[in-house]
Structure 1
Amino acid sequence: MDNMPPAGVRPRRIIETHTLYSVHLQEDRTIKVFLPPGYPQAAPYAVLYCHDGNEFFTHGRIATIATERMQAGALQPLVIVGMAVNLARRTDDYAVDGVRHEAYVRFVAEECRPWVETRYAVRRDPAGRFMAGVSLGALASVSIHARHPDLWRKLLLFSGAFTPDAVRWLERMPSFSEMAAYMVVGDEETRVETQSGVFDFYHGHFLARDLFLSHGADIDARVAPGKHVWGFWQRQLPEALDWLDRHRG
């Protein structure tokens, strides 16, 4: 690893916080950017965009986990972009039938991505861009890929909110042949309470997996012990980051 400290020495982490005004959403959005130790010596870096961006850093501890794995030589350096959610409008933004979903997709693709790429030494090709989301954020990731396969093709999907309505939406999509995804669900996610109702994300995980595979997508689908909570997703991050490392173009 470039410019990494010796084993046992805590590497210096840099997380920069910005406020980006979205014309499409008509509001400010907080963007947190994790820069790996040694940045920018190994430029350009692969870049991972995360929905629920604050929570990925606080509850998911993604910067700590990534840094530890980089220091251990298990993960190549990468930049992580956390796109903060508007909690009051999360369903409106992330759900494929949400009233602001199209605006949110445009914010990510047309505002956040170009803004990151003009300010940071990151890759600008789909082989070097990744996207991650939990629950509805996972569904939003799939939706953004479906609309912009030229921008994002590689996804980390944690406990995707593949409800019956979402699966019907997936069935209407023309193709997922260019998609590669790491999918994981908890074995206790058969009855998940959400603001929109109670759903079986466990079996929805397999329905979505089979649909993606039928389109020729590259899917690594897993089940692990756990519930629909950040503690579960945090435990899955090391393996998800390993998958990301293997799929860098």
Structure 2
Amino acid sequence: MNGRFPEDAYRRKVVSFDVPSACLGRPVTVRVFLPPGDADAEARRALPAVYAQDGQHVFQYGRAATLAHALIAEGVLRPFRLVGIEVNLATRLDEYHPEGRRNAAYRCFFFEELLPAAEARYPVPPSGLRRIAAGDSLGGTVSFDLALDRPDLFQGVISLSTAFVPALLRRLQATKTEAIRHLRVFQYVGTEETAVQTRLGTLDILAMNREGRRLLEANGVDVRYVERPGAHTWGAWQKILPESLRHFFGS
């Protein structure tokens, strides 16, 4: 024993399962990072959850489970679970973009199928910090949409170079302040993201984020805004992940 957790708790643990989806017409693989001390016998204890889009990339390129595990084991972060929702790259744009033809289906999947399946296995607390939506680029776009759809379910958003497309900006402009002023947002964007090549064309992600921040703060949202040198890549997002997690779970 080391005074905090059993020695075997220092071995990183990620489990996965499939969620059948009538909304999307396909099963969706979900990966869950279990924090140190969250042994099988204790897996039903209530812990906050970070629901991350582009789940396979968050774990592979972001090294999110490895980073979170080390920081929790060291006592830097309080325990939480990370739920990575794997994306089908062929339908990503249609599912994540607010005007995508499969966007309504994705949101149906998230609320009606994913949350019940995930939280039947791994419950969140009944109050306080319960759920955070997280995503990069268009994954950040849909994360904001989910939080705006059900602000009663979410307490925060981790936004990594979010594509604040016109449809999302319009929605933020139309949102009633009292509905989202409780949200906390960690918002990162790289200063090199001024001409990002995407399937939507060339986007000035930096300018988009500055406008997104303005609208969020106009609605009373608590925004921790970070601009640093960096491109629109997982290399930059991996570096900022620990800081984004400390913002919500720092001990």
> Could you state the TM-score of these two structures normalised by the residue count of structure 2?
0.91
Partner of 1:157: 159
Q: How far off is 1:121 after superposition?
A: 4.1
Q: Secondary structure at the match of 1:16?
A: strand
Q: How far off is 1:169 after superposition?
A: 3.5
Kindly provide the amino acid, as one letter, of the partner of residue 219 in structure 1. V
Q: Secondary structure at the match of 2:27?
A: strand
Partner of 1:18: 17
Q: What is the CA deviation profile of residues 177-206 of structure 1, one whole-angstrom value per residue up to 9, with x for unaligned ones?
A: 232110000010011100110010101111
Q: Secondary structure at the match of 2:241?
A: helix
Q: Which residues of 2 match residues 102-117 of structure 1 at below 5 A?
A: 102-117=104-119
Q: What is the CA deviation profile of residues 125-184 of structure 1, one whole-angstrom value per residue up to 9, with x for unaligned ones?
A: 462211110001111111011110111131100001013443234323334323211000
Structure 1 position 178 matched with structure 2 position 182 = yes
Q: Which residues of 2 match residues 1-249 of structure 1 at below 5 A?
A: 3-4=4-5, 11-40=10-39, 41=42, 43-125=45-127, 127-175=129-177, 176-246=180-250
Q: What is the CA deviation profile of residues 23-79 of structure 1, one whole-angstrom value per residue up to 9, with x for unaligned ones?
A: 111111110011111115593111111000010000000000001101221011111
| CA gap 1:31/1:124 in 2 versus in 1, 3 angstroms | farther
Cα distance in 2, alignment partners of residues 206 and 10 from structure 1: 41
| CA gap 1:215/1:2 in 2 versus in 1, 3 angstroms | farther
Kindly provide the amino acid, as one letter, of the partner of residue 20 in structure 2. Y
Tell whether the 8 Å contact from 1:48 to 1:79 is kept in structure 2 after alignment. yes
Cα distance in 2, alignment partners of residues 120 and 164 from structure 1: 35
Q: Secondary structure at the match of 2:32?
A: strand
Cα distance in 1, alignment partners of residues 234 and 36 from structure 2: 25
| CA gap 1:134/1:126 in 2 versus in 1, 3 angstroms | farther
Aligned residues: 245
Greater shift in the superposed pair: 55-64 or 120-129:
120-129
What RMSD over aligned residues (CA atoms) do the two structures have, in Å? Answer: 2.1
Tell whether the 8 Å contact from 1:24 to 1:104 is kept in structure 2 after alignment. yes
Kindly provide the amino acid, as one letter, of the partner of residue 22 in structure 1. S
Q: Secondary structure at the match of 2:91?
A: helix
Tell whether the 8 Å contact from 2:79 to 2:249 is kept in structure 1 after alignment. no
> Could you state the TM-score of these two structures normalised by the residue count of structure 1?
0.92
Q: Secondary structure at the match of 1:27?
A: coil
Tell whether the 8 Å contact from 2:99 to 2:167 is kept in structure 1 after alignment. no
Q: How far off is 1:3 after superposition?
A: 4.5
Identity %: 35
Q: Secondary structure at the match of 1:190?
A: coil
Unaligned runs of 5+ in 1: none
Cα distance in 1, alignment partners of residues 176 and 65 from structure 2: 36
Q: How far off is 1:2 after superposition?
A: 8.2
Unaligned runs of 5+ in 2: none
Tell whether the 8 Å contact from 1:16 to 1:33 is kept in structure 2 after alignment. yes
